[in-house]
Amino acid sequence: MGFLRGPESADGEDEPRGDADALARIEAGGIPLSAERRLQALRKDGALFTSGLSVNEFALLGAVGPRPLAQVMGGSVVRVGQALLPPVPPYRRWSSSGSSYSRLEEPSAVQKAAYRRTTMVLEVDVLTKAWTDARRNALNRLSEEALQVGADVVVGVELKRGEHDLARRTIDYLISGTAIRSPGSTQQNWPLLSDLSVQDYWRLHEAGYEPAGLVAATSVVFASASLGTRRRRRRTPQRNQELEELSKAFHLARETVRQRLLSQAQDCRADGTVGVELTHTVHREELPAAPSVPSRSPGGWNRGVLGIPYYVRRRGEVERQGWLITMHGAGTAIRRREVVPQYPAEKTMRMGSR
């Protein structure tokens, strides 16, 4: 049975395919109807299940009470849009009166040279948003699967990322975990996600805390040294030299990810985060500057007669060579568990006076 194909009938023939409905559900951030039916069947007691738990984790889970339901997963593949650097300040053509300018012109050669002589360290919003969209879509689909099986928590959440075929600029996010349900649960709330193992989940419970949710963030920073700095480094190759722009880019990426993780933890009303892990990749990249003024030339992405997109470079387009630092961070937000007293105090009323 294919991913977008409905269940097979008893005589072996396929029911009418609901490809359009499945695609509509995926575009809305959900899962296909066939997957929803399969997951709902796992809600029943005694249903077979799969999980990513080790033998020790499974034994511990059975001893403390929660029951594993299913291994749930969410994925998303996103094609990245064109990343552009800030534009070169345009040239202003002044009128003869000198009191106002008539229109904006393309930057002059002097302005373009000055643009290349500056050190550039900044976040590339298009690339950051692409990773954020892929992660959000994958997490929503994993949560939807956990909701269909009636889970309270998803433990051992594992985030896998990839960049494939840089010419097409596509990225993917694949997230998986094991959905569990506590004894006597009514499953009325949205399932909580945690990248903690079962052992850590139980230690957290014994310490008086509970997971408040999974927090994750990404920041993509572009770093490019000035033309003078690159020339100076080429003249002194025998010396150890710190790449200041890269150090600043790492600091900016780390602080940006950290602030976003803290903001998500505050939204969860958490006391803090545990198990935070930062990973990064670095590779060379050449990015163009955004157009300074609207151009009549067909620069940028166009579409041919057969619908095939192609790119035409604008005349005088400015590009910068540098490094792209992609930093990811993920962890589990936790908060102190509310302890219900075993023997709650009873209300009493005294009447009269002594």
pLDDT at 136 over 80: yes
Choice between 153 and 125, residue whose per-residue pLDDT is larger: 125
62-75: average pLDDT: 78
pLDDT at 160 over 80: yes
Buried b (16+ CB within 10 A) or exposed e, 119-133: ebbebbeebbebbbe
**pTM for this entry:** 0.74
* Confidence band, pLDDT 50/70/90 cuts, at residue 19: low
Share of the chain above pLDDT 90, in %: 25
Lowest mean pLDDT among 92-96, 113-117, 225-229, 325-329: 92-96
Whole-angstrom Cα distance, residue 226 to residue 324?
A: 16
pLDDT in tens, 320-349: 899 999 999 999 999 998 765 555 555 555
Domain spans, the chain: 17-83+128-182+190-206, 94-123+208-338
DSSP 282-299: EEEEEEEBPPSS--SS--
Asked if 71 contacts 177 with a C-beta cutoff of 8 angstroms, the reply is yes
Match domain 17-83+128-182+190-206 to its CATH number in 3.40.718.10, 1.20.58.100, 3.40.50.720, 3.30.110.70.
3.30.110.70
Check residue 31 and give its pLDDT.
63
CATH topology match: 17-83+128-182+190-206 vs 94-123+208-338? yes
Bridge partner list, 211: 334
Architecture of domain 94-123+208-338: 2-Layer Sandwich (3.30)
Q: Nearest 5 degrees, angle CA 237-CA 241-CA 243?
A: 115
Q: Which residue has the tokens 């975990």?
A: 177
pLDDT in tens, 293-311: 655 445 556 666 677 766 6
Q: What is the mean pLDDT of the chain?
A: 77
pLDDT at 207 over 80: yes
- Type of residue at 128: T
